């Protein structure tokens, strides 16, 4: 298994399928985009499936989430999902997406074996969406959400980042809307992982503020001390349930002690933490003919060195060189 020196076991693998994206969310990347990874550096579909197979069959991974960049931009996505769904033991398969294109692909992805989807949506107002993402695609995201629910990718979760002065007044409206449509809403605190290095602790909207804002309209009861377990979201029942809302307070209430994540970037680097400054180059091993056992051994070694925490509260904290979009959020 993927154990570290603090006794944590990683069973949840995040696979980034591309660093490219069709949106330009201000908290993620600059308007002009980024210098994308060169194609030959990306793992091929077969290499990705092999890495997932090693993670699942040799290293105890039970949950695989495809992300990016925007994973729906990867042409082989359905094929990759199908191959991963055929693994024994079968991992739970999920996707984090901005939802653009999900309207066309949700049913096929479900058919291929995808279990669940998280769609990022920060606002109900098309003009705010345009400002936040620098693209006029609000309508496509809503269509993607509807298609995901219709395809049975349940529960459909929504990831929301609140930005001060842009959409920080929308928390209660978003929750009312999510409850009405049967989507599970989760707020994510803005993290210092943007390519522009524009994050400021004093500028971010905290979990506490979000909860205060939600409580102006809803009665929230904690789902219970055990509900969080290793899941990063603290969850509350909305007006007695069954609807729930989550808050992922990576900055103000970090959950590093319960972290069960391991990450694979689109260019085949294993990362033991979102905020890690080191990576392990498993692509080089893959492409130099290493056997599965050798790759598994290197993966274990990469996780063994995982630090106790993100280091966000350390005055010497430095953002990782890769932005969120190239790590896989
Ligand atoms: N493009 C897909 C999407 O937006 O869902 C998948 C990749 S994106 C990097 C994954 C998640 O990270 C999204 O929910 C996005 O809102 C979130 N995210 C991106 N940058 C962030 C930041 N600086 N702080 C917190 N969350 C961030
Ligand atoms: Fe793209 Fe997701 Fe980053 Fe937005 S958060 S720019 S959708 S990768």
**pLDDT tens across 257-278, in order?**
999 999 999 999 999 999 998 9
Residue among 27, 70, 71, 132 whose CB has most ligand 2 atoms within 8 A, to mutate: 70
Residue 292 CA: distances (Å) to CA of 7, 198, 286: 24, 40, 9
Report which of residues 20 and 200 the model is more confident about. 20
Is 6 part of a structural domain of the chain? no
- Rounded to whole angstroms, the Cα distance separating 71 from 64 reads 13
**Which pair of tokens denotes residue 211?**
């909860």
Query: Which residue reads 């392990």 in tokens?
Result: 280
Q: Which atom of ligand 2 is nearest to the CA of 98?
A: 7
**Centroid of ligand 2 to alpha carbon of 89 (angstroms):** 31
- Determine which residue's CA is closest to atom 3 belonging to ligand 2: 28
**Centroid of ligand 2 to alpha carbon of 274 (angstroms):** 15
Is 47 part of a structural domain of the chain? yes
For residues 177-210, one letter each, b for 16 or more C-beta atoms within 10 angstroms of the residue's C-beta and e for the rest, the string is ebbeeebbbbbbbbbbbbbeeeeeeeebbbbebb
28 pocket-lining for ligand 2 (C-beta < 6 Å): yes
pLDDT band at 225 (very low <50, low <70, confident <90, very high): low
- pLDDT score at 55: 98
- DSSP assignment, residue 193? -
Decide if pLDDT at 130 tops 70.
yes
Is 217 part of a structural domain of the chain? yes
The phi-psi region of residue 153 (left if phi > 0; otherwise alpha if psi is between -120 and 50; otherwise beta) is beta
Is 302 part of a structural domain of the chain? yes
**Centroid of ligand 1 to alpha carbon of 289 (angstroms):** 34
- pLDDT score at 230: 58
124 close to 138: Cβ distance less than 8 angstroms: no
How many structural domains comprise the chain?
1
Give the predicted TM-score (pTM) of the model. Answer: 0.96
Is 2 part of a structural domain of the chain? no
Q: Which atom of ligand 2 is nearest to the CA of 161?
A: 5
pLDDT in tens, 77-87: 999 999 999 99
pLDDT in tens, 268-323: 999 999 999 899 999 999 999 999 999 999 999 999 999 999 888 888 888 888 88
Is 54 part of a structural domain of the chain? yes
Q: Which atom of ligand 1 is nearest to the CA of 21?
A: 1
- Determine which residue's CA is closest to atom 12 belonging to ligand 1: 329
**Centroid of ligand 1 to alpha carbon of 107 (angstroms):** 23
Dump the DSSP string for 262-303.
Answer: EEE-TTSEEESSTT-S--EEHHHHHHTT--HHHHHHHHHHHH
- Determine which residue's CA is closest to atom 2 belonging to ligand 1: 97
Is 4 part of a structural domain of the chain? no
Strand order in the sheet with 234-238: 220-222, 234-238, 244-248, 184-188, 156-160, 116-120, 92-97, 63-67, 12-16, 261-264, 269-271, 280-281
- Rounded to whole angstroms, the Cα distance separating 64 from 262 reads 10
29 pocket-lining for ligand 2 (C-beta < 6 Å): yes
For residue 176, the Cα-to-chain-centroid distance in whole angstroms is 23
Find the residues whose C-beta lies inside 6 A of ligand 1: 21, 27-28, 67-68, 70, 96-98, 120, 159, 161, 188, 190-191, 193-194, 324-325, 329
CATH of the domain at 67: 3.20.20.70
Helix segments in the chain, DSSP class H: 45-58, 77-85, 102-112, 126-133, 138-150, 171-181, 207-215, 282-287, 292-304, 324-327
Residue ranges making up the domain that contains 240: 12-327
Those residues whose C-beta lies under 8 Å from the C-beta of residue 316, and which sit 6 or more positions away, are none
Is 279 part of a structural domain of the chain? yes
Decide if pLDDT at 76 tops 60.
yes
């Amino acid at each position: 298994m993927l154990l570290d020196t603090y006794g944590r076991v990683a069973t949840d693998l995040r696979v980034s399928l591309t660093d490219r994206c069709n949106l330009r969310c201000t908290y993620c990347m600059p308007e002009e985009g980024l210098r994308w990874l060169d194609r030959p550096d990306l793992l091929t579909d077969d290499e990705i499936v092999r890495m997932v197979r090693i993670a699942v069959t040799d290293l105890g991974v039970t949950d695989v989430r495809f992300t990016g960049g925007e994973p729906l931009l990867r042409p082989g996505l359905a094929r990759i999902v199908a191959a991963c769904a055929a693994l024994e033991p079968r991992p739970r398969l999920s996707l984090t997406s901005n939802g653009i294109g999900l309207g066309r692909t949700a049913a096929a992805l479900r058919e291929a074996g995808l279990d669940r989807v998280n769609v990022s949506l920060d606002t109900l107002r098309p003009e705010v969406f345009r400002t936040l993402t620098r693209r006029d695609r609000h309508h496509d995201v809503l269509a993607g959400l509807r298609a995901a629910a219709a395809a049975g990718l349940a529960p459909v979760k929504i990831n929301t980042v609140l930005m001060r002065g842009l959409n920080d007044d929308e928390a209660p409206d978003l929750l009312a809307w999510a409850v009405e449509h049967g989507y599970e809403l989760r707020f994510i605190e803005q993290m210092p992982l943007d390519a522009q290095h524009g994050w400021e602790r004093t500028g971010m909207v905290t979990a506490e503020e979000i909860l205060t804002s939600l409580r102006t309209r809803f009665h929230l009861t904690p789902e219970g001390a055990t509900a969080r377990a290793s899941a990063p979201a603290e969850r509350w029942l909305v007006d007695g349930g069954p609807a729930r809302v989550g808050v992922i307070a990576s900055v103000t209430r970090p959950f590093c002690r319960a972290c069960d994540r391991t990450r694979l970037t689109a260019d085949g680097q294993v990362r033991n933490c979102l905020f890690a400054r080191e990576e392990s180059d498993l692509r080089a091993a893959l492409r130099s003919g290493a056997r599965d056992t050798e790759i598994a051994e290197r993966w274990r070694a990469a996780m063994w060195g995982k630090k106790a925490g993100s280091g966000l509260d350390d005055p010497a904290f430095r953002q990782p060189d890769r932005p969120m979009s190239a790590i896989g959020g």
